Amino acid sequence: MTEEQTTPAETTGADSTAPSAVATEAPSSETPAPAATETSEAEAPKKRQTRKSTAKKTRTVELTLTVTGTADGEWQADLLHQGKRVVQALPVAAAAVSKAAAELNPEISETIEGVINEARQQHEAKLAELEAEVERVRKALAELEG
């Protein structure tokens, strides 16, 4: 501890056994020293607090992007900026979701590709069912005409 910095115990005299800067100085210099110390101590924390809060504001941006998909392969996006909803239920193409995921991280991409592939397989199965149904209807129509 320097002579200019004193703790509250030193300025009030609560700890008479601890050496202090005030006790070693001449009586005429006791009064100005605490006043100068209080002023410099009061200014220092204000400067530190300002720097910390400014750094947080300039370095932190709060954005929350939520992308949701259904088993049918329909995707949508919601965007929050500092808790305020900017975009809600915006339709997004599965290809765009896949491309964005690939850019972000391989683990994210693998998971999303798995969901997209599952939806693709479901659509292919449904298409095969519909094509079989169309074929049955064509045969029934041909029998009626013929």
101 CB burial (10 A radius; 0-12, 13-18, 19+): buried
DSSP tally for the chain: helices H, then strands E = 6, 3
Structure tokens at 29: 């210099």
pLDDT, position 53: 57
Handedness of CA 15, 21, 25, 29 (dihedral sign): negative
3 state SS of 17:
coil
In this predicted structure, the answer to whether residue 49 has a pLDDT above a threshold of 90 is: no
pLDDT tens digits along 95-144: 999 999 999 999 999 999 998 999 999 999 999 999 999 999 999 999 99
Q: What string of H, E and C letters represents the secondary structure of 101-119?
A: HHHHCHHHHHHHHHHHHHH
| Total-model pTM | 0.51
Residue with the larger pLDDT of the pair 13 and 130: 130
Q: Distance between CA 117 and CA 107 in Å, rounded? A: 15
User: What 3-state DSSP class applies to 70?
Assistant: coil
